[in-house]
Chains A and B, each alone.
Chain A
Amino acid sequence: MSFASNGHKPPVAGFRTRLFAALMLIIAGLTALGLFFGQRNIAANVERDLQQNFQAELTALHKLQELRDSALAERCRSLGEKPRIHAALEDNALDLLYASAQDELRDLMQQEEPLGEQATTSLHARFYRFLDSAGTVLPPPNPKDVGELAPDAEAELNLKKLPESSQIGYLAEHVDRAHEIFDEVIAVPIFSTETGEVISALVVGFKSFEPASKGTGAGMKSGIWVNGRLHLPSASQTAQDALANQIANAVSKSDRSRNNFTVTIDGAPHFLFFKRLNPDSIFPPAYEICVYPLADSIAQLHRLRWKIGSAGVLLLLGGFVVSQFAVARLSKPVEQLVVESEHDRADRKRAEEALASATEELERSTRYSADASHQLKSPVTVLRAGIETLLNREDFKHEELSMMLHQTHRLTGVIDDLLLLARMDAGHLQIKSEPVNLSQLIEEWLDDLSALPDAPDVKIEKQIPAELYVAGERQYTSLIVQNLLENARKYNRSGGKLRVEADEEGKQVALRIGNTGRPIAQAAQQNIFERFHRDKNTSAVSGHGLGLNLARELMRLHGGDLRLVGSADDWTEFEAQFRIARRTVSHQPQVA
């Protein structure tokens, strides 16, 4: 085993490395994928959060503003319907216009200018003007009564044409040199009660809506951008100028889907959203500007990235450890398999080597036994010839010589059997298979048995169907039958019986030969087919212990078998299984 594991370590180690590398690759890939999507998700989330934050702020803001705007617009519309204003416009009494309006708008103009948060809910008007049918401002006789405006600001109120519906605009007003404020301007058309046409417009300026929720949105700052000018109170003037240009660029692109970009204000990154405050207005476009400092978001993003990154590293480490275990677990059976296959290979090799040496030995021994038989046989033949010669001379004692001759016959029989066995062992014995008339063969041998000089008084029973053919070589089949019948006679007791039965069993012919007499000892029963085995109790009976062995080897060579059916209670029975011969062949004439 140590040889196997040492010698084949490289392939196993290679498998282990490859498996580990594959696992790590998968884990690393999954981690990278997870990191990528996590990162992307987070970036998208941050942007979406900002958007939502902005939208929420804006929505809250706009609800207030819309309420105020609609209140203002409604107020202005109802002003535009006042009979005196109509009368002044329609009955050619423009000189009475501002005077009449002064009465009607007194409540708006005379309110105290609100301070701080009240400004958002107040309807205090800063100024009002009427436009003539061409859209130009009708000059007020007494500007103080209608809210004074700088000439350039007043010029901005001129419209190219009169509006058909109420319009919202934003007007920049310089309060002092550095400070400018934005007024929200609402222009409502005045329809002639006579013609239904727009004959004039009332333009009322209100203090711009200043969102009171400055502190809520985590540093969100809002401002307003009108016609190239930015009003973002929290930023420095230079930053505002730079931003105003950027917004002008973004706005001019008129890409409605995009309403944000990232800017740098006073050195810090900011997220900037813009939204048109007066869509479809004939006043210059005004945009609500919300600036959101990105520092926090970026920091948060960094933190999250670190978290994700470290999670990824942990995941990789965990994956590393797990893969180590998994590889160890997975490669174990493979290694086992490799080791076992090495074992098997070694075993097989050993077995083959053993088989080769055994075959060689067998061949050697077969050769030896063949040689031995031959060497034994020749002197016996010579001896016998000599004895026979002597026997013909009268001066020799006949009895002794006759016994000697008998011994040579026995010796020849043993040698014959040994030779046959040796040929079988060497695999040299070729069977020429032909149909053999077993019934006839048995009859012949039974006749021979009864003709023997020392034939005992044994009753012979036979039950053999006529013309029973088996496949085999007649010479050896005959030898088998002879051996079995001789044994049955030899080991019988006087006054006993010998029974021979044969019958067809499918493709087999079973020949059973039983005899009375002392049974074979239980312990010896399994050894009776071995060479030179003889029951100790039957030493009185002549035999050399090769017969049964020879018979069985021959049976097996014929594709059959020989076995002991049983040996007990004065009855010993053997059964030989022959292959049956084909019926077509069975009708061929037999030469017995």
Chain B
Amino acid sequence: MILAILPASLLAGAGIEGRVTLPKARSAPVVAKRYEIISTGSVLSVSPPLAIVYLEGSFPKPKPAATKQVGQKDLTFVPSLLPVQVGTRVEFPNFDDLYHSIFSYSPAKRFDLGRYRPDERPIPSEVFDRAGLVTLRCDIHEHMRGLILVLDTPYFVVSNADGRYQMSALPAGHYNLKAWIDSKTTREQPVDLRNGQTLHVDFP
């Protein structure tokens, strides 16, 4: 589930790969892998753990072209954690056969879609134009939580369940590589990227 955005002009760019040490999974892995937002202390994270690795710095930031989706299926948000670039429109399709009422009071984005059914058209959507973590809630189903990490960069990737990640077609230069682990934990390391090179960066 690597969601890197690779502009065609930067195919020959730099690459980074490595491993983020993830917190230990709290529950035994399930067969049908589903990620859900859990809270430990007042920290929101994904379970089983996932990390979002992204590159921050001053480089040209093209407008996000694609529209993303966070669906509601079986009374959960799918995906439960979604990184998007600032300015991305996210649709919230309802795949359950009942009402949902998605809203957020998060400072990064306050919105309230109101109650709607699966056949609601157009699909209710919001544009996330401020960087930050947005907590998604449903007014009807109080247990439902979803996270959208709004990033001011086009270069980001979600690790696999082992914490391994791989990014390519990155611009050369001196930047900060960050790894978001949970709502309170973001690690960062400065990186020097050169074209044609693939850097190995582990986050302990």
Contacts and interface: CB of A to CB of B under 8 A. Distances in A.
A192 B42 contact: yes
Given A83-B138, A86-B142, A194-B44, A91 B39 contact: no
Contact of A91 (B104, B139, B141): B104
A195 interface: yes
Interface in A64-96: 81-84, 86-88, 90-93, 96
Interface in B44-61: 44
Contact of A88 (B41, B43, B105, B142): B105
Contacts of B140: 83
Interface in B110-169: 110, 135, 137-143, 145
Interface string A182-200: 0000000000111100000
Contact of A84 (B39, B103, B141, B143): B103
Contact of A83 (B42, B43, B107, B139): B139
A192 B145 CA distance: 13
Contact of B105 (A82, A84, A193, A195): A84
Contacts of A192: 39, 42
B105 A81 contact: no
B106 interface: yes
Contacts of B142: 81-83, 86, 193
Contacts of A86: 137, 142
A93 B112 CA distance: 14
Given A193-B142, A193-B143, A87 B105 contact: yes
Q: Residue among B105, B107, B135, B137 with the most chain A CB within 10 A?
A: B105
Nearest to B143: A193
A91 B105 contact: yes
Contacts of A87: 103-105, 135, 137
Contact of B139 (A84, A96, A194): A84
A367 B183 CA distance: 157
A194 B41 CA distance: 7
B39 A194 contact: yes
Contacts of A193: 39, 142-143, 145
Contact of A194 (B42, B104, B105, B138): B42
Contacts of A88: 105
Nearest to B108: A91
B137 A195 contact: no
9 contacts: A82-B139, A83-B138, A86-B142, A87-B105, A87-B135, A92-B106, A93-B107, A193-B39, A195-B41
Q: Residue among A84, A96, A194, A195 with the most chain B CB within 10 A?
A: A194
Interface residues of B, number: 20
Interface in A189-216: 192-195
A455 B2 CA distance: 185
A212 to B, nearest CB: 37
Contacts of A83: 103, 137-142
Nearest to B107: A92
Contacts of B41: 194-195
A91 B42 contact: no
Q: Residue among B42, B44, B141 with the most chain A CB within 10 A?
A: B42
B138 to A, nearest CB: 7
Given A93-B107, A193-B145, 17 more contacts: A81-B142, A83-B138, A83-B139, A83-B140, A84-B103, A91-B104, A91-B135, A92-B105, A93-B110, A96-B110, A192-B39, A192-B42, A194-B39, A194-B41, A194-B44, A195-B39, A195-B41
Contacts of B110: 93, 96
Interface string A264-289: 00000000000000000000000000
Contacts of B139: 82-84
Nearest to A89: B105
A156 to B, nearest CB: 30
Nearest to A96: B105
Contacts of A96: 105, 110
B146 to A, nearest CB: 12
B198 to A, nearest CB: 38
A193 B135 CA distance: 12
A87 B112 CA distance: 12
Interface in A335-359: none
Interface string A154-198: 000000000000000000000000000000000000001111000
A82 B110 CA distance: 17
A86 B144 CA distance: 12
A245 B24 CA distance: 62
A108 B83 CA distance: 41
Interface string A91-130: 1110010000000000000000000000000000000000
A195 B184 CA distance: 14
A91 B42 CA distance: 11
Contacts of A92: 105-107
A192 B42 CA distance: 8
